[in-house]
Chains A and B, each alone.
Chain A
Amino acid sequence: MGVVFDNFDLFGRGLRTTASLAVLSYLVAFVLGTFVAGLRVSPIPPLRWVGTVWTEALRNIPLTVLFFVFFFGFTKIGISYFPFTSSVIVLGCYTSAFVAETVRSGINSVAAGQAEAARALGLTFPQVLGTIVLPQALRTVVAPLGSLFIALTKNTSIAYTVAVVELARVFNDLANQTGEAIPLFAGVAAAYLILTLSSSAAIGVIERKVAIRR
């Protein structure tokens, strides 16, 4: 394990980058995904189509391909950011499709009477959705939304392909330099497990506080 402790700084840096990629992308994904879920249940056909195309396209194209399209393709139309920012955008958009599907199934699980009652009181669609349905819907899907965060944490490793120095990149570089892949693998795996296990503990706490079971 010597090689892991010798490079503890680099590991720490990788861990911080992975964690900040995960948190920032999740914020993007959550806001965007909830919005797209709203589009998908809205009574306005063109908005519904946009929501459907967004989720279907992003769910069916591999994340690695999205990274390549954004990073190597979009520069051609004048869209280029630093690797970290690009990664947050790509990871956020990709995960937003899954957040949207999760939130939508949460919305479908809210009893129809809730929306009916809100409509009977004269609330408009955005009001029904924003004040009555979504708050209940989000609380039913706390656990799957949490699993999405964990999946996202692992997916940040694909930022490796665009040279963001996160854990997978640290592993790759050190393993190539030192040739001691096995202890390094153990170290990286441990780092990811620390991240995922602590987030699932945190998700458990949030779940106990806010989740409603149906």
Chain B
Amino acid sequence: MSGTITAFADPLGPRGKVRVAIATAVGGALVAWVLYVAYRRFEANGQLEKELWTDLFSGEALRFFWGGLKITLQLAAVGLLLAVAVGVVLAFARLSKRAPVRFVATTWLQFFRGVPLVVLILFFYIGLDFKPFRAVVAGLVLYNSAVLAEIFRAGILSLDRGQSEAALAVGMTDGQAMRLVVFPQAVRRMIPALVSQLVVLLKDTSLGVAIGLEELLRRSFLAGQFLKNPLQALIFGAAIYMVVNLLLSASARWIERRQGQGKAKKTAPGDPVRVGGIEDLSVA
């Protein structure tokens, strides 16, 4: 089992087996009890009535949710494309040989990584009169390009120095070495990180709700008000987000395996510890 450490789970003796069996039974009973309490809670408040759930699956309701999901996916797609483009530029600026360029890029990155996305989106919406969709995209791009720039930079720096040295030795200029040798190789290493950033970005699109954009969350909320089943509608919306994100993470793992770098799961002693998904965790 992937979660267990070998040292905890080496073959048990007869007494150990009995102990684990008892604990499994007790643990299982505990879980069942918690589920039962939750079930009773729903039932006692009349939240298990069939219509409250089945209303969500009428053709009209499903089309309404689908419309919201489409906006969410559009936000994520546009946001990611632009953020990647801006992020690449920022990463190169960070690695530039000219100190002023480096300084400006670093300040820019620190600033936009330090300000919460909600505030950025509100600023574009209220302060600069952007349309809701554009305000969200602008916020997503500014924030995520800063995070992506760091991912790109790390990817470029992770490449063996021999690569760029060899490129220079055969007479390429700095620019050529970066464009033709270093960057193409670095990009392949960054794809899994890019996909996990896409999960973060997709989650962040739900902030559009703050300025009334009808993406998936707002539509779930509206559906709940209209059908008088806010709890069910929001749980349904949350489930859609979860399915989409799990599919994205699964594809990230698939890409990682196909690249033959499948060492991501087990952290060996000595590996740097990293967990993706909440945000950039490299804030120092």
Contacts and interface: CB of A to CB of B under 8 A. Distances in A.
A141 B275 CA distance: 11
Interface in B1-23: 1, 3-10, 20, 23
B203 A62 contact: yes
Interface stretch (B79-87, B153-161, B178-186, B231-239): B231-239
A154 B279 contact: yes
Contacts of A45: 1, 24, 27
A56 B117 CA distance: 23
Given A60-B246, A62-B206, 8 more contacts: A41-B5, A43-B8, A46-B28, A64-B207, A72-B234, A77-B231, A151-B279, A189-B115
A73 interface: yes
B31 interface: yes
Interface string A153-164: 011111011000
B266 interface: yes
Interface of A: 40-52, 56-57, 59-66, 68-69, 72-74, 76-78, 95, 98, 101-102, 104-116, 119, 125, 128-129, 140-141, 144, 147-148, 150-151, 154-158, 160-161, 167-168, 171-172, 175-176, 181-182, 184-185, 188-189, 192-193, 196-197, 200, 214
Nearest to A111: B269
A19 B34 CA distance: 33
A62 B217 contact: yes
Contact of A128 (B8, B115, B220, B230): B8
Given A77-B42, A78-B45, A105-B267, A65 B238 contact: yes
Contacts of B230: 72-73, 76
A69 B220 CA distance: 10
Contact of A189 (B111, B224, B242): B111
A102 B277 CA distance: 11
Interface of B: 1, 3-10, 20, 23-24, 27-28, 30-31, 41-42, 44-45, 47, 111, 114-119, 122-123, 126-128, 199, 202-207, 209-210, 217, 220-221, 224, 230-231, 234-235, 237-238, 241-242, 245-246, 249, 266-271, 273-275, 277-284
26 contacts: A43-B4, A43-B8, A45-B27, A61-B242, A62-B203, A64-B207, A65-B217, A66-B238, A69-B238, A73-B224, A73-B231, A102-B275, A107-B5, A109-B268, A114-B7, A148-B278, A151-B280, A154-B114, A154-B117, A158-B116, A158-B118, A160-B210, A171-B123, A181-B126, A181-B128, A189-B119
Contacts of A161: 209-210
Contacts of B268: 109
Nearest to A115: B7
Contacts of B9: 43
A44 B30 CA distance: 12
B122 A172 contact: yes
Nearest to B237: A65
A40 to B, nearest CB: 5
Contact of A160 (B118, B237, B249): B118
Contacts of B210: 64, 160-161
Nearest to B202: A62
A156 B210 CA distance: 14
Contact of A73 (B24, B234, B241, B267): B234
Contact of B7 (A61, A112, A196): A112
A101 B45 contact: no
Contacts of A172: 122, 126
Contacts of B45: 76-78
Contacts of B266: 108
Contact of A60 (B20, B111, B122, B199): B199
A11 to B, nearest CB: 13
B242 A192 contact: no
A41 B4 contact: yes
A69 B118 contact: no
Nearest to A74: B231
B233 to A, nearest CB: 8
B217 A112 contact: no
B238 A46 contact: no
Nearest to B26: A44
B217 A64 contact: yes
B262 to A, nearest CB: 16
B237 to A, nearest CB: 6
A175 B128 CA distance: 11
B119 A65 contact: no
Interface-centre pick from A42, A62, A63, A111 (highest chain B CB count, 10 A): A62
A167 B273 contact: no
